[in-house]
Structure 1
């Protein structure tokens, strides 16, 4: 699972894709927005874009192991990780592996619109069939409705969406392992599923400081608030 590198100088956030069916291309514009001294690595999952021919990964553990392995060459410089929705759980799992297994503490863990690991309540939308998967994607928003109504495009996107819902649906609550780095939570104030209380529970995932920022918008507030979020992350990494 090779991170796609937009460019930069020193290691900064390794951005994992957004919600179910998300793409690394969402984060490409972050490369310049975070400044010349931060390099952005956006993880490209198998089964989408130029990796469309590869089998999708269907477990959080497999994704975390692969991304951790790909990040090891960058552990000689400060490294931070950002993840949105499903990616927040994945970012946490990567952070745990880097710190507990390889002795590399992150500069920061940035998590967005996702319950803390000891608070997740998985739902198996993937077991209810493709219509249930598509309905859930529509409910959360963030995906062009035209992509889901065009039969050819829908068939192209469905494998990745199914796989991601399987990843989320099989990732069960677990005792939280606190990390020795700051944790920052981000939330769209009208997110239909994630509350401020859910995000504040991420406080248990760090032995140092925790902070929470809320923005206008729902689950995909990032689309409209990208500049504010990127500015906040850059300030914390300065």
Structure 2
């Protein structure tokens, strides 16, 4: 990768666990309102030789001054371009909540436009394409948005007590909800991936059901498995180690990890 490509990649990805010659690269996509830092604790939870990079969504953290994406296409297009440059190691995607839909869209377009097939697509806390439910928060007032985000968990709601921080953070959260609530998943025939899909969710997540997660099996031409963990929408915070252990136990044995 030349210097301009490296600069562009650094803009879109944070190296959570950099490896000079990785056996596999795990690319992580955060939830609505989330950021690359959500995955900072994962560095010690994967097998040797696995590099972890987390997507830097615009409009937050070190990209705070970049306008957040307003549509799925706007977010996905540059990510397809950047992920297509990861040619030195097999790719695994992991997306939680909104990030599951983003990861799936990137995987579909990488396959169709670049001839790149993932080693695995892991989706978490998000129903299969066409089965998603909307929370109707895109146009919610600030107080309702803060309350709903708090109910989901995963965000330290105390940060919203500071009016200045609230003013900085809420626009990206609102933009994410607008993006995901306007998003229409492709029909099944246009949503297929050649990679196996592994689906994870919290058994007490009120927005999901076993059936809605099992339905991810309809958009893969390879293997599929689903597993529930105790907890709600952000079960992943507590169970990250177990989820990653399960994921890497399932990855094709042809990929050395």
Instruction: Report the TM-score, using the length of structure 1 for normalisation.
Output: 0.94
Structure 2 contact 15–53 (Cα < 8 Å) conserved: yes
Deviation (angstroms), 1:169: 1.0
Name the structure 2 match of 1:54: 66
Matches within 5 A, 1:96-175: 96-175=108-187
Q: May I ask how many residue pairs the two structures share in their alignment?
A: 237
Structure 1 contact 182–210 (Cα < 8 Å) conserved: yes
* Structure 1 unaligned residues grouped into runs of 5+: none
How far apart, CA to CA, are the structure 2 residues paired with 1:37 and 1:74? 15
1:20 to 32, 42, 66: 32
Is 1:73 matched with 2:82?
no
Q: Deviations over 1:5-53 (max 9, x none)?
A: 1312323210011x22111111123233213311111001111111111
Structure 1 contact 123–168 (Cα < 8 Å) conserved: no
Structure 2 contact 150–157 (Cα < 8 Å) conserved: yes
Is 1:205 matched with 2:222?
no
Q: Deviations over 1:157-190 (max 9, x none)?
A: 1011111111111112431221111000001000
Structure 1 contact 57–63 (Cα < 8 Å) conserved: yes
Name the structure 1 match of 2:207: 193
Q: Output the aligned Cα RMSD.
A: 1.5
Name the structure 2 match of 1:224: 238
How far apart, CA to CA, are the structure 2 residues paired with 1:78 and 1:174? 25
Instruction: Report the TM-score, using the length of structure 2 for normalisation.
Output: 0.87
